[in-house]
Chains A and B, each alone.
Chain A
Amino acid sequence: MAVTTGTTAGATGPHPTLASLATWLVPGAGHYMLGNVRLAAIGFVVIQGLYLLGVLLSDGLFLSILPPEMRGTFSPVLSPEAGNLGALLAHVQTVGYGGTEPRVWPSTIHVGVALTASSGILNLLLAARAHFDARARSAATVEGAAPHPGQAVLLAWLVPGGGHFLQGRRARGLVVFALLVGLFALGTMLAGTANLDRTRHFYYWGGQALLGPIALVWEQVVGHSIMEAPTRYDEAGVVIASIAGMLNVLVMLDVYGTSDARLFGRPVPTESGGDAGATGGVQAGAR
């Protein structure tokens, strides 16, 4: 199965690292440099649109969630919004922590911060896609039985295990879904839904946002509850829910690496270093 990258195979172009760094700074910039103007435009509009809509709904106050003692020069870098670096830098320059006077958060702040966080995560996925497309462009042939790593990793974020399903590894996909969603459900139960609120747990929330829309939508449905009494294992619950999201990063790397290896005809990773499923594509001159 040939993969369409929207660029010309065998052609010269920007270095893969440059393409992904450009995307990190400006969504779609990497694909623009690669000549894939359509994907560049879609990426820019969707990702910056999500960020802008999120800023409008949250009054741009997501950084003001941080308590004063946690506000530092590099504090925003640890948020999911850092995936959309250009937008975050502009945000820090213009709004920052929201000034010295306390402001009332709008009622739509929870939806707003979920959108800005999603924008950052999606842009990182686009940057990873730009890296693959740049390598594919310089390769003589990219052909193998695997979906595009960019599509697989996007689906893995949208639904944990979805990337494995797309690759035909259904049993693994089901196990991933059960493990990660189960872990997130366990954490939420232990925390008494206290984890489903970015204004309570700014950084732990960032970890669980990596689980994708399941965590974000779950939060909008049952989150932001008023805690009338302390929950016995709330701290453990918050940590466990965050771990579920961070484990999804490992899952996304697995999905990306497998598609990448299959399409370039390299052995997929194994502990023994052997070939556990390469599909015999032509060895490409990837950089």
Chain B
Amino acid sequence: MSDVGVHVALFLGVAAAVVAVSCMFTEADDARALRLFPRRYASFIVVSALITGAMIVLEHTLASIG
């Protein structure tokens, strides 16, 4: 697996744990917490991807030292 692939896989794994614990914190009922997970996980990934995209654009424009 490429270096980027490993980092993405690690991110997806850690994000799953973070979102799972946040679902438990938000929702006391186990079944409801489980139903919350997919939507929250997707939101977490999409928002993180948008932030990453913005950071990459900034890095290659305003913050570029090359």
Bitwise, A230-257 to B at CB < 8 A (1) or not (0) is 0001001000100110010011011000
Cβ–Cβ < 8 Å partners of A182 in chain B? 17
Cβ–Cβ < 8 Å partners of B32 in chain A? 270-272, 276
The stretch of A43-51, A70-78, A172-180 that contacts the partner chain = A172-180
Given contacts A172-B30, A276-B27, contact A243 B18 (CB under 8 A): yes
Count of A residues near B, CB < 8 Å?
29
Cβ–Cβ < 8 Å partners of B36 in chain A? 271
Cβ–Cβ < 8 Å partners of B13 in chain A? 186
Cβ–Cβ < 8 Å partners of A233 in chain B? 6, 10
Bound CA span A183–B36, Å? 21
Check if B17 sits within 8 Å of A171, measured CB to CB: no
Count of B residues near A, CB < 8 Å?
19
Instruction: Give the A-B pair count, Cβ closer than 8 A.
Output: 62
Cβ–Cβ < 8 Å partners of A277 in chain B? 28-29
Instruction: Tell which of A176, A180, A240, A250 touches B10, judged by Cβ atoms closer than 8 Å.
Output: A240
A188 within 8 Å of B by Cβ? no
Scoring B7, B29, B32 by chain A CB atoms within 10 A of each residue's CB, the highest score goes to: B29
Chain A contact surface mostly: helix
Bound CA span A179–B21, Å? 9
Cβ–Cβ < 8 Å partners of A272 in chain B? 32
Check if B28 sits within 8 Å of A258, measured CB to CB: yes
Scoring A190, A254, A258 by chain B CB atoms within 10 A of each residue's CB, the highest score goes to: A254
A269 within 8 Å of B by Cβ? yes
Scoring B13, B21, B27 by chain A CB atoms within 10 A of each residue's CB, the highest score goes to: B21
Scoring A243, A247, A251 by chain B CB atoms within 10 A of each residue's CB, the highest score goes to: A247
Interface residues in B11-57 by Cβ distance below 8 A to A read 13-14, 17-18, 20-22, 24-30, 32, 36
B42 to chain A, nearest CB (A): 16
Bound CA span A221–B21, Å? 28
A146 to chain B, nearest CB (A): 12
B14 to chain A, nearest CB (A): 6
Bound CA span A190–B10, Å? 10
Bitwise, A179-207 to B at CB < 8 A (1) or not (0) is 11011001000100000000000000000
Check if B26 sits within 8 Å of A271, measured CB to CB: yes
Bound CA span A277–B18, Å? 24
Cβ–Cβ < 8 Å partners of A270 in chain B? 26-29, 32
Lowest 9 A-B CB distances belong to which pairs? A268-B28, A276-B29, A276-B28, A254-B25, A247-B21, A179-B17, A271-B26, A250-B25, A183-B17
